[in-house]
Every structure is written in structure tokens, then in C-alpha cells.
Amino acid sequence: MGLNERRYVPYAGPTTATWSRFLVLSRYALRDVLRERLVVLLLVVSGIYPLGAALLIYARYNLGFLALLNIQSADRFLPPIGVSFFEVLLVVQGVLAFFLTLFIAPPMIARDLANNGLALYLCRPLSRFEYVIGKMTALLWLLTCTTWLPGLLLWSLQAGMAGGGWGADHLRILLGIVVGSWLWMMVLALLAFAISAWVRWKLAAKAALLGVFFIPSIFGNVIDARFATHWGRLLNLLELMRVTCGGLFGNYTAGESVVAVYSNGQAIDVVVRDIPQWSAWAVLAVLCATCVLMLSRKVRAYEAVRG
């Protein structure tokens, strides 16, 4: 072909379907994340507790194994497999999911924003929403491996080994595992992304995320102790998760507890009511809405900086 015949020819090969374009971003984000040794280490660590739990479930229904450990009665020596067992699993895995988010999420979005790289994404057929979802999907994949997937596997193992309709009788646990995990995953992902988008620096975003997790909970504890109330728990993210997940598992009732307070030099016992479930859901909803608002303000290709 002569040089004078060369001209622009548009790409005619197969294109990625519009609905799945955001997955391209998550594929590359996942590849970058899994290069970090710390992330791989955290993923391995997050498998330890479910593995131990699986061994426990296996041991309960295996007479040979019980005999090997010289255990006469499984009920006396091994913890019961019920709502509390799966609730504890969710809390432990939830804490690990937080640390995973702490190390994964901030670099994903802060680098693009700090280096004005967002324009390079958004000049392609990708919307701002798809950009955020694409990045978030990578994080959610990893959090899935930490939270509801092991929970689901353990529930299936227990249902299979217990038999006798255990699975059908305990569908509420399954609901708690899946919905509770997704709730926690979305809260973590939105919070981490919103902070990273505002701070635009991964180290500062990590510090801020850590601060958001720890500082309000300390202040909440102080409010609870000094004002003889439990409303301070609304500042504690982990407590919010415990209340909402407890509700999903059908294991939470806003009961009353006795708190000792000092008044006129005397210690008196005061009955304090636990926070109602709706308040925990409301705080999480407000938190998520605020994060979405922050993201929509900050995830833009260009920003006019005044002053």
C-alpha cells in the first residue's frame, strides 16, 4: 500500500459491552492491589479464623475426630454452632475487612485524583459513576473473600453436616451473613473512597480513615460513661455494625443495662436503655449518603481551584 493511501481507519474489532466496561477498571485495580505483599498477607490472615471455625464444625460431627482428641461429648467441650457463632465470625471478619480496606482503598482513588489522572479515564466511554463502581468492585471482591463468602461456606458446611433441616431452620443466619456483610462492605468502601477523594493523598487518607474509626468511638465511650446513656454508641462504627447485624440475625433486642454513676458523692445505679435498631440504621444511612455526596463533589475530571 502506497504511503499516500494510508489514512485513519477506525477500530473495527470487538468492543467491550457497555454494561461491563467498569470491570476493566476493576481488573487493573485488582492486579495492582494484589502486587502488594501486605494485602496478600492480610488476605491470608483473614482466612485463619474461618478455617478454625470450619475445623470446629467438622469436629462436632466427626466421632472419629472427637475420639482422637479424647472428647466425650461435643456439646460440653465445643461451642454451639448457632447465631452467636456466626455473629462473632462476622465481627472478626469485619474488623479484618476494615484493615484490608485501610490498605487497599486509599491508593486506588487518591493517586488518580492527585495526579490529575481522572481526565484520562473520563475521556473514554466511562461515566463518573462507572469509574467509582469499577474501582469499588475491586475492593468489594477482596472484601467478599473476607466476609460473606467464608460465612456462606461455613453455613453450608454446618447445614450439610448437621442435616435434619438445619439449613431451612436457620435461613435467618444466612440472611444476617449476606446482608450484614454487604452493609459493612458498602460502608467501608464508601467511607474509604470519600475520604481518599477529599484528602487526595493515600497516607493522609489512611490516617484519616483510622481516625474516623477510632476517635469517635473513644468519644462515644466517654459520652456513654459520663452522661449515663448508650447514645454514644452511635459514634462507634463497630457498635453500629453489631447492632444492625444483630437485628438481621434476630439476636438483638434493645434491652436495659445498669450503669453506676456518681451523684453528690454517691454511687447510684441507673438503668440505661440500649440504642434502638432504627437509630443504627439511620446513622449508617446518613453516613453512606454523606459519602456519596462527597464522592460526587470530588470525582470530577477537572476542578477549578480558587485562591
Provide the minimum distance between the beta carbon of 206 and other proteins in the complex, in angstroms, as a whole number. Answer: 4
The closest alpha carbon to 39, from 88, 105, 91, 90, belongs to: 105
**Residue 114 in the binding site for other proteins (CB under 8 A):** yes
Q: Work out whether 28 is an interface residue with other proteins (CB under 8 A).
A: no
Q: Which C-beta is closer to other proteins: that of 36 or that of 169? A: 36
Strand-pair partners of 270: 259
Q: Scanning residues 234 to 263, which ones bind other proteins (CB under 8 A)?
A: 261-263
Q: Does 100 bind other proteins (CB under 8 A)?
A: no
The answer to whether residue 102 forms part of the interface with other proteins (CB under 8 A) is yes
- Considering the rule CB under 8 A, would residue 135 count as an interface residue with other proteins? no
Whichever of 1 and 305 has its CB closer to other proteins, that residue is 305
**Distance of closest approach, residue 3 Cβ to other proteins, in angstroms:** 40
Binds other proteins by CB under 8 A, chosen from 45, 67, 120, 268: 268
For every residue of the chain, which 3-state class applies, written as one string? CCHHHCCCCCCCCCCCCHHHCHHHHHHHHHHHHCCCHHHHHHHHHCCHHHHHHHHHHHHHCCHHHHHHCCCCCHHHHCCCCCHHHHHHHHHHHHHHHHHHHHHHHHHHHHHHHHCCCHHHHHCCCCCHHHHHHHHHHHHHHHHHHHCHHHHHHHHHHHHHHHCCCHHHHCHHHHHHHHHHHHHHHHHHHHHHHHHHHHHCCHHHHHHHHHHHHHHHHHHHHHHHHHHCCCHHHHHCHHHHHHHHHHHHHCCCCCCEEEEEEEECCEEEEEEEECCCHHHHHHHHHHHHHHHHHHHHHHCCCCCCCCC
- Please tell me whether residue 203 binds other proteins under the rule CB under 8 A: yes
- Select from 67, 68, 88, 210 the one that contacts other proteins (CB under 8 A): 210
Piece of 81-89, 107-115, 135-143, 241-249 that binds other proteins (CB under 8 A): 107-115
Contacts with other proteins in 214-233 (CB under 8 A)? 214-215, 218-219, 221-223, 225-229
CB under 8 A: which stretch of 13-21, 74-82, 108-116, 249-257 binds other proteins? 108-116
**Closer by beta carbon to other proteins, 173 or else 275:** 275
Q: What is the dihedral of CA 280, 283, 284, 289, to 10 degrees?
A: 160
Q: Binding to other proteins by residue 152, rule CB under 8 A?
A: no
* Beta bridge pairs of residue 268: 261
Residue number with CB closer to other proteins (171 or 270): 270
Smallest gap from Cβ 38 to other proteins, in A, equals 7
Nearer to other proteins, 174 or 195 (CB): 195
Report d(CA 222, CA 226) in Å as an integer. Answer: 6
* Chosen residue from 135, 170, 206, 230 binding other proteins by CB under 8 A: 206
Residues that bind other proteins (CB under 8 A): 38, 102, 107, 110-111, 114-115, 201-204, 206-208, 210-211, 214-215, 218-219, 221-223, 225-229, 261-265, 268-271
